[in-house]
Structure 1
Amino acid sequence: MAHLCGLCLTLRDRHGHLARLVTNYDGLLVSVLVEAQAPELSPHRRAAPCALRGFSRADVVDARAEGARLAAAASLALAAGKIGDHLSDRDGVYARPLVGAAARRVAERWSRASDHEAAALGFDGEVLRDALARQPLLEARGGLTLLELTEPTETAVSAVFAHTGELTGKPHNAPALAEAGRLFGRLAHLLDAVEDLEADRRNGAYNPILATGTPLAEVRRLCDDAAHGIELAVADLDLERRTLVRALLVGEVRRAVARTFDDHRHGTEHPPGEVPKVRSFFVVCPAELCKICTCGWYQPKWSPNRGKSCRERCECPCDCCDGCSYCNNCCDCCRCCKRCDCDCCDCG
């Protein structure tokens, strides 16, 4: 949470309130990797109360931290590229002239901000721009394999991960970081395609799995292989603080793979002719806001965590914790199951 909130506030302080919209969980990994290699380059501060964490103060990574700044640059570039894809495909509201013009201006502003931030950190933003430009060209070509379509994402993430080794004065980490980034980029691309598979099939939208005709079993194999490769790459890293990196890039990655394929399987198990219920934005938004402001205590009736105990929700794989972040009742070694600072378990 210190890295997630730190990324959000770095975007706000350096690029304006609107830039906070690009805050994402994948981006914070860059900040985590910098702190894990050189904690002194990741100063923290006490942040003011925020509605998204239940109006409580929190320890967050400072906007001066080079890891948070690199994460912000990468997040802005990827968000600008995604807007560009929607504009070129004329998706939904992006097909409307006024919305499209406003979105184009925002994308251009974020792209310039990303280039400026990356240059200040010695990172070549051209790598990200080139990857984003090549992706739609590959998709339009046809006849490519699934891994050929994920290559631009792999290249972009690999470059960003590898640069954290340069920032922290540990260039010997760059090969392992590049490999971890390449496989993480592949995994993120594939999981995103699996999540969107049924919606893209119904809407006739482009999906790399559908375009290549790859069986879902083969996609799962590629994801499992990528997760295993990431684990091996992380084991080769020279880190001052290893626990959080392992928790996110090993434990959470494997859970994300299992969760995504389980959700897809359950989402397709409907009787013939049954249409899955689509909930209104005006129903989902207040419910999700209530869940956030109560730190997960409230769960809407459609939530998979509804009715589960705190222990079941946190999915902690070890036996040393008696509670989790939902009830804040934990053993001495773990402040909560998600933020273990010791090496007694793999809960992270």
Structure 2
Amino acid sequence: MFGIVRPCKHRLSEGLRTEWMAHLCGLCLALRGDHGQFARVVTNYDGLLISVLTDAQSGVAAARRRTAGPCPLRGMRTASVAQGEGARLAASVSLVLASAKVRDHIADRDGMLRRRPVAAAARRIAAGWDRAGARTGGTLGFDTAVLVDAVDRQTDVERVAGPGTPLTAVTEPTETATAAAFAHTATLAGKPGNAAPLAEAGRLFGRLAHLLDAVEDRARDAAEGAWNPINATGATRAETRRLCDDAVRGIRLALRDVDFADPRLAHVLLVHELPRAVDRAFGTTTCAHTDAHTEGHADAHAPDNPYQQPHGQPPHGQQPYGQQSPYGQPHHGRPPYGQAPQNLNGPANPYPGSDGGGQVPPGAGGDGWGGDGSGGNSPHPPNQRPPRGLLAGCAAFVGLCCTCQMCCASQYEGPWSRKKREGLCSDCCDACDCCSNCNCDCCNCDGCNCCDCGCDC
């Protein structure tokens, strides 16, 4: 999964997150429907922007949804996914651009592609993707020849590039390809007046994607002796960053001239997420949801904290509210934390279990105070089935692994304990720098929690 627009789930509202996943799954299913199962490997974060832009201009997103069946990458859940011309155009563009990426790796002799048999097989796959993308693009009125031509010219441009060559000369083929793809979304949406500003936004997006990919691969390419535009042209870090920042600003200005019917998701992805992608590539951002970030700023936000510990926790043995705490054992006859009150029913209570321990009165069952209706003798928490045995747990473990639920599901049932657990990727913030206490009212982002908006819309 490649791409530079990777929004953190904490920065998207529930509605926008659902929409983003609808376009991502729609791209994947469009690839499968038109080109077979193997084509789904080219699903990428940037390709879905084509589908997003098409729906944002037409404003008929709800009419272009269907319910897809369970998928391992969704934790075996169904979902509403995008369909129609936008998703198919995204699939066509993704195939051609993935072909370009494969050919680039072949030219750079990366990894296994150093071996001639592997490189030959990769060339055949890339050529097949070119033909498949051309077929789908042709049915949508989009001539993928401009993309294929850009792919072919990229190799020639890299061959003649050297110290002093402007980076924009190296990124020109990618800019031309993405400009054509962005502009065609205006045709699909029936708004030809949007073609010019979208072409400009696409051109700058192509430049940004090419440069950020080079920044992320620069050290590895230098170690492996692979070609990298930054290393080859001798561009400085400051110059590369300036070009990236200029591209981000240019995209923002170009989108102001686009007539959107529903701009929210497109605005979040192309205005708010692109600056974060630049910061992520250059290593100038931190995640607000990691412990290191939280602890590093705890004292800054609370200089008078008497405990000097993260989250305001007191030292061991001290009451968090001082000696006059109304909840302490010496005051009002109440017990300390973690202990159940005693003698709620008086000293003659015949069922000591009814006040938090021991047995429960016969037939009491669930009384609305936390009982599970099991008579108090069940060793398992309420609403949790007994653990599985060794063999049954192993079978469940294999099933969870094969369906990717342990990684991709937001919540799954433990194979042996049956306890609810979160997927390994459920809390991935993707190096975001967001907070959760403000809404971007200035750009109507549906409460995307982007406190560093910085937009003038």
TM tier, smaller: 0.7 to 0.9
Tell me how far 1:55 sits from its aligned partner. 1.6
Task: Please name the residue that 1:32 is paired with.
Answer: 52
- For the pair shown, which has the larger CA radius of gyration, 1 or 2? 2
CA distance in 2, matches of 1:220, 1:10: 35
Are the counterparts in 1 of residues 75 and 405 from structure 2 also a CA contact under 8 Å? no
Q: What letter is aligned with 1:17?
A: Q
Following TM superposition, where does structure 1 have runs of at least 4 consecutive aligned residues deviating by more than 3 angstroms? 39-42, 288-291, 294-300, 303-306, 341-348
What letter corresponds to residue 227 of structure 1 in structure 2?
V
Q: Following the alignment from structure 1 to structure 2, what is the Cα–Cα distance between the partners of residues 347 and 231?
A: 19
- Aligned to 2:143, which of 121, 124, 138? 124
Could you tell me how far 1:221 is from its partner in structure 2? 1.1
Once the two structures are TM-superposed, the CA of residue 50 in structure 1 deviates from its matched residue by: 1.1
Matched, 1:319 2:438: yes
Which residue is 1:18 aligned to? 38
Alpha-carbon distance, 1:108 to partner? 1.7
- 1:133 paired residue number: 152
User: Using the alignment, how far apart are the partners of 2:118 and 2:277 within structure 1?
Assistant: 33
What letter corresponds to residue 24 of structure 1 in structure 2?
N
Cα shift at 1:293: 2.7
Structure 1 position 292, deviation (Å):
2.0
| Deviation (angstroms), 1:247 | 0.4
Mark the CA change 1:19 to 1:344 in structure 2 (over 3 Å): closer, same or farther.
closer
- Select which of 194, 197, 221 maps to 1:200: 221
Query: Structure 1 residue 47 and structure 2 residue 45: aligned?
Result: no
Structure number with greater CO (CA < 8 Å, separation at least 6) is 2
Structure 1 position 186 matched with structure 2 position 207: yes
In the alignment, what sits opposite 1:271? none
Is the 1:132–1:152 contact (alpha carbons within 8 Å) kept by the matching residues of 2? yes
- Secondary structure of 1:196's match? helix
| Distance (Å, rounded) in 2 between the aligned partners of 1:132 and 1:317 | 42
Task: Tell me what 2:362 maps to.
Answer: none
Q: CA shift at 1:264, angstroms?
A: 10
Tell me how far apart the structure 1 counterparts of residues 196 and 203 of structure 2 sit (CA, whole Å): 11
- Please give the root-mean-square deviation of Cα atoms over the aligned residues, in Å: 2.9
Mean Cα displacement is larger for which, 153-162 or 213-222? 213-222
Specify every segment of 5 or more residues in structure 1 that has no aligned partner in the other structure, as ranges.
Answer: 266-284, 307-311, 322-332, 334-340
1:216 aligns with 2:237: yes
Range 82-91 or range 241-250, more displaced: 82-91
The Cα shift of 1:188 comes to 0.4
What's the CA shift for 1:134?
0.7
Q: Distance in 1 between matches of 2:79 and 2:285?
A: 35
Q: Is the 8 A contact 2:264 2:446 kept in 1?
A: no
Letter in 2 for 1:121: L
2:239 and 2:282 mapped to 1: Cα distance?
12
Contact kept in structure 2, 1:153 and 1:189, CA below 8 Å: yes
The match for 2:341 is none
SS in 2 for 1:206: coil
The one-letter code matched in structure 2 to 1:75 is S
Cα distance change, pair 263–196 in 1 and its aligned pair in 2 (3 A)? farther
The residue number in structure 1 matching 2:93 is 74
* Larger helix proportion of the pair: 1
Partner of 2:410: 294
Partner of 1:85: 104
Asked whether the equivalents of residues 165 and 172 of structure 1 are also in contact (C-alpha less than 8 Å), the reply is yes
Question: Contact (CA 8 Å) 2:439, 2:449: kept in 1 or not?
Answer: no
> How does the TM-score come out when normalised to structure 1?
0.79
Whole-Å Cα distance in 2 between the matches of residues 82 and 248 of structure 1? 23
Q: Partner of 1:61 in structure 2? A: 82
Give the length in aligned residue pairs: 301
